[in-house]
Amino acid sequence: MKRLTFLILLLLVVLTGAIFYWYREELEPLFLHPESEKPKTPSITLAISPYQDIATIVTLHSLGLEKKYGLDVKLVTMAWEDILPALASNGTTVDMGFASFVEFLTKEQDLNRGADDPLVYVHPAYVFHGGSFISFNPEVAGLSKDSLSDKQQIEKFLSYKIGAQKSSLWEMMIYATARKGQVDIKSVKLFDSPLNDSLLAAEKGSLDIASAGLTQMTEAKKRGGRVVLQMEDLGFADITGFVCRKSTLESRRKDVEAVIKMWFDTVAYVMSDLDKNSSIPLDYLAKSSSTQYTLEQYKLALSQEYFPRSILESRQELQTRSGKFSHEKIAEDVVNYMQLSKGVVTPPAVPQFIEIQ
């Protein structure tokens, strides 16, 4: 009887040991890290705007990417023009955000002047080349690729009241148009106005021509407006990418890289089948954007942008001089604009993107 009892106890010990061995990864945290001492998953706050392109990132939660990369991501929606100031402020509203490459270059010296912890442009995400100017005024004749060589048509176009945010890609477009028509930029009635404000002002008639991203262009067409000048006809493009403080990049490099990897994972997922995989971005836009997209409108808007599906593709097409949308060439256009039109003596340094393995 004693022997039987001993054998049973021995068998239980062996089974217990086997269970601990096979499930050691799951059980170890319970013993090594009691509930109160468990290591917390790091978190990061990412600023986004309710635009059709950036909306891709909202699928990260449903795809389980936070668990995959060991990082909780809090998405904070704010107006596009508020992201850079929020990142540059001394507060801790957001850790990272999306920003225009062109806008960053034109504003970098002012944003970082005297800063001990400057903003850095970390990595590109996608290319925007579908911007435009819209009008509700029937008297405004649009400019096409062909008419951009007609001095008289350009002079007439630039005689109207035009809204474009200062130091933006749209202001660059107006300066480039003026150069093509040999029009003195000082004679152009150009008003500093963010995209959404420009749209409303044009609809009300206080502006004749307004700058428009894809969201504003879609909305303008719904309200009876029309496109009168397209970015592509001028040969312009802009990169949207990630910006954060230098200290954030240095102290949280792994987390910053994780967010960028999540972006490319969400892009690859959504773009693999827009018909099936667009429901979450569309739900987000329906709740957060002033423009309500149908699936077809969403697909049409995205078709006017270029989305690398991987970090490797981004490196090849955006980060090399021979790429489709070389950031070096875009930067050269910006520096040219700043020197010729703004009298900038010391051009901004071209950001060096981080390498991600």
Of 170, 203, 234, the residue that ends a domain is 234
At which of 234, 256, 281 does a domain end?
234
Instruction: Mark whether 137 and 225 lie in a shared domain.
Output: yes
Q: Where are the beta strands (DSSP E) in 78-167?
A: 96-100, 119-128, 132-135, 162-163
pLDDT of residue 39: 67
Q: 4 pLDDT band (50/70/90 cuts)?
A: low
Model confidence pLDDT, tens digit, residues 150-177: 999 999 999 999 999 988 889 989 988 9
Say if residue 179's pLDDT is above 90: no
> What is the mean predicted confidence (pLDDT) over 82-107?
90
Same domain, 182 and 271: no
**pLDDT 10s digits, 239-275:** 999 999 999 999 999 999 999 999 999 999 999 999 9
Please check whether residues 180 and 266 belong to one and the same domain: no
Same domain (yes/no): 123, 136: no
pLDDT digits (tens, 9 = 90+) for 181-198: 999 988 999 999 999 999
Is 30 contained in some domain? no
Task: Give residue 23's pLDDT band: very low, low, confident or very high (50, 70, 90).
Answer: low
Tell me the residue range of the domain where 335 lies: 43-128+238-341
Rounded CA-CA distance 95/78 in Å is 13
Longest dimension (CA), the chain: 111
Are 65 and 139 part of one and the same domain?
no
Give the number of domains in the chain: 2
pTM: predicted TM-score of the whole model, two decimal places? 0.75
- 35-48 pLDDT, tens digit each: 555 568 899 999 99
One DSSP character per residue, 279-340 reads HHHHHHHHHH-SSPPPHHHHHHHHTTEE--SSHHHHHHHHSSTTSTT-HHHHHHHHHHHHHH
Interatomic CA distance for residues 205 and 281, integer angstroms: 33
Helix (H) or strand (E) holding 44: strand 43-48
Assigned domain for 149 exists? yes
> What's the average model confidence in pLDDT over 45-59?
96
Residue 37 is assigned to a structural domain of this protein: no
Same domain, residue pair 86 and 218: no
In tens, the pLDDT along 96-151 reads 999 999 999 988 888 888 889 999 999 999 998 888 999 999 999 999 989 999 99
The overall average pLDDT reported for the chain is 88
For the stretch 6-17, pLDDT in tens is 555 555 555 655
